Structure 1
């Protein structure tokens, strides 16, 4: 906005008028009193002062300054208009200042929150766009690497949590004082831990931790668990081995049990024959067909099928006739109960040597029977047959083993009712059925 003096001549007046009022008709005013002068007049009609070029020439000749309006003189009409414009502009400036303070245009109303303030794109410094872009890219890359690092750390934490959960799951069963105190499901979890042990010694250490054997790591026949049979009667199962049997799907079954109570008294086969051995026997078929009738559901849920080696030919002279079957419930073989034949091989007949080799190929003695045999050797008061006695129909009973006698075509091995020895009998005779199983 340009400021001007009221005492200027017509030319100055015209320049001001052209700036302050576009399109407004030009007028002349007295430089002394401010009264309007008619165009072409040489003197002011009001005060008689000379106008136009004469006044300018007189003032220039005298070297005097141009006169200004006195304090008591009336203001020129045009000056009043200019002051009005100035006042309006001043008001506008005040309003702008007030609005600026109120809206923080000048940064004086206090800092706003980061959420409320967003720098406009025009405010960014474009003088170093390339450098800024590189910095932004670097920051983004750093942020991405940080996110990846956090993701990797999170994944590692997740793996650690999974590993911790797996360890916790492996030890989820609390140790109890007796086998009887565990549920079948708990015993199954312990069995998995035993089966995963590196070797037999490590498996025994796990069993000791859960009180599934003596503190010395032995089985003495007191590791018992009650089984409610399908007919409502109570039977007793005893642990006979740890990590002994091979599971059908690989690995070791952690715990092997044997029933001390016979399910019933039955023939091995309807006919007096051992042809087909254990694999083709009537008892094997009956156990598989009737297992859901005889055994409780909570036990059936944790039973695992295992591999059993047996002479499945009957009468034979070849060890190659010892083949594998997959069973959930089975009878032990004579070598699994009594162990291998003793004596000097040089003193036995060729026929007996063949039978011994076939028998030895049908498994290995379970820990319970070997531990009791060893205990008996050290202490004659220990009953070596306490773990081999079976009960049926209210008393002790002879009971079937699964291996046929290889030197006959009609007999299978069995255990006497006092549990003292193995003998053979025709397949059609009746004996107690006391199966084993793994969990």
Structure 2
């Protein structure tokens, strides 16, 4: 009788172990199929797959993910094609709510255009946020130190980022920007590279080939100066990056904006807006006082005193 009782106990134990193995196998299979793990309270959850949408339909985290996918391409043409597969093209636009209660606009102006500051390749998307504020370039009328030394750069590098939605701000990628960071100069060495998170555009990035000095002064001596080769200043301006696809496709030059893409409003009223490009020339006996601007009516290139307020239209990359 004792041997029969022992055999029954072993059989029962074997049955229990078999049941446990079956249950464990079922749980493991379920977890593999759902590609997830138990969450709080024992609930099993799965991350939703990224779905194709229009530019204005993505939330900020989704848009940043699309930008990372685009940035994974080896060529600009490949990046443009992948962006289109995800519903994003040059010229797409959406509202941009700001923390001060206003709404700016956000426009796709470049795809795989800007180099990341960390050297990891190109950012997927370059966006234009227009305008986010009205501010002077400097506290006084000076171009000394160029863009790098400007008060506007200090503001954009600090508190300005808090104007953006938090989810967007945390995804912004710093990129490399070339600018005349001296001020009054015709020396190509004056153009140096800074790392920027939010930044105004250069004249070159918006207007393409810059010929403003050659067109205005030619090669003749002008009354108050003995300098002849004004083309050297154009050469300097042309070192500040490359024109974005959005402006190129819109036909923007230093003298023309046929589609009116440079005409922007702030608070419901037309506003001019800053370039980060300092005016590199000063007549003998004068000091540099100007940065380039887009005129209030949208004309591509004019000058503004650095100490006077103007629209702050910025680029940012994802």
TM > 0.5 fold call: yes
What is the aligned partner in structure 1 of residue 317 from structure 2?
Answer: 438
Q: Are 2:123 and 1:253 aligned?
A: yes
What is the aligned partner in structure 2 of residue 278 from structure 1?
Answer: 147
Where in structure 2 are the equivalents of 1:233-312 lying within 5 Å?
Answer: 233-250=102-119, 251-260=121-130, 262-312=131-181
What is the aligned partner in structure 1 of residue 51 from structure 2?
Answer: 174
Q: Are 2:297 and 1:418 aligned?
A: yes
Query: 1:421: Cα distance to partner?
Result: 2.1
The DSSP-based 3-state class of the residue aligned with 1:189 is helix
Once residues 174 and 352 of structure 1 are traced to their aligned partners in structure 2, the CA distance between those partners, rounded to angstroms, is 53
From 329, 336, 339, the equivalent of 2:208 is: 339
Once residues 385 and 402 of structure 1 are traced to their aligned partners in structure 2, the CA distance between those partners, rounded to angstroms, is 23
Q: Are 2:251 and 1:373 aligned?
A: yes
Once residues 292 and 238 of structure 1 are traced to their aligned partners in structure 2, the CA distance between those partners, rounded to angstroms, is 17
RMSD in angstroms over aligned alpha carbons? 2.7
What is the aligned partner in structure 1 of residue 98 from structure 2?
Answer: 229
8 Å Cα contact 1:312/1:323 also seen in 2: yes
Where in structure 2 are the equivalents of 1:30-109 lying within 5 Å?
Answer: none
CA 197–172 in structure 1, closer or farther in 2 if over 3 Å, else same: farther
Q: Are 2:268 and 1:394 aligned?
A: yes
Where in structure 2 are the equivalents of 1:117-266 lying within 5 Å?
Answer: 172-176=49-53, 178-213=54-89, 219=90, 221=91, 223-250=92-119, 251-260=121-130, 262-266=131-135
Query: 1:291: Cα distance to partner?
Result: 2.6
- When structure 1 is superposed on structure 2, of 420-429 and 266-275 the one drifting more is 420-429
Q: Which digits, 9 at most, give the CA deviation of each residue in 1:221-266, with x for residues without a partner?
A: 3x01222101122221101100111001121001001112x22221
Structure 1 stretches lacking a partner, 5+ long? 1-102, 104-114, 116-160, 162-168, 214-218, 377-382
The DSSP-based 3-state class of the residue aligned with 2:57 is coil
Once residues 205 and 236 of structure 2 are traced to their aligned partners in structure 1, the CA distance between those partners, rounded to angstroms, is 13
Greater Rg over alpha carbons, structure: 1
Once residues 224 and 285 of structure 1 are traced to their aligned partners in structure 2, the CA distance between those partners, rounded to angstroms, is 28
From 230, 235, 238, the equivalent of 1:360 is: 238
The DSSP-based 3-state class of the residue aligned with 1:237 is strand
CA 397–351 in structure 1, closer or farther in 2 if over 3 Å, else same: farther
Query: 1:342: Cα distance to partner?
Result: 5.4
TM-score scaled to structure 2, two decimals?
0.75
Structure 2 stretches lacking a partner, 5+ long? 4-9, 11-34, 36-46, 220-227, 283-287
The DSSP-based 3-state class of the residue aligned with 1:299 is helix
8 Å Cα contact 1:385/1:420 also seen in 2: no
TM-score scaled to structure 1, two decimals?
0.55
Once residues 387 and 210 of structure 1 are traced to their aligned partners in structure 2, the CA distance between those partners, rounded to angstroms, is 24
What is the aligned partner in structure 2 of residue 19 from structure 1?
Answer: none
Query: 1:185: Cα distance to partner?
Result: 1.2
- Higher-RCO chain (CA-CA 8 Å, sequence separation at least 6): 2
8 Å Cα contact 1:368/1:387 also seen in 2: no
The DSSP-based 3-state class of the residue aligned with 2:275 is strand
Structure 1 residue runs of 4 or more that deviate by more than 2 Å after TM superposition:
345-352, 383-387
8 Å Cα contact 2:162/2:169 also seen in 1: no
CA 207–384 in structure 1, closer or farther in 2 if over 3 Å, else same: farther
Higher helix share: 1
Number of residues of Structure 1 aligned to a counterpart in Structure 2: 258
Once residues 298 and 261 of structure 2 are traced to their aligned partners in structure 1, the CA distance between those partners, rounded to angstroms, is 8
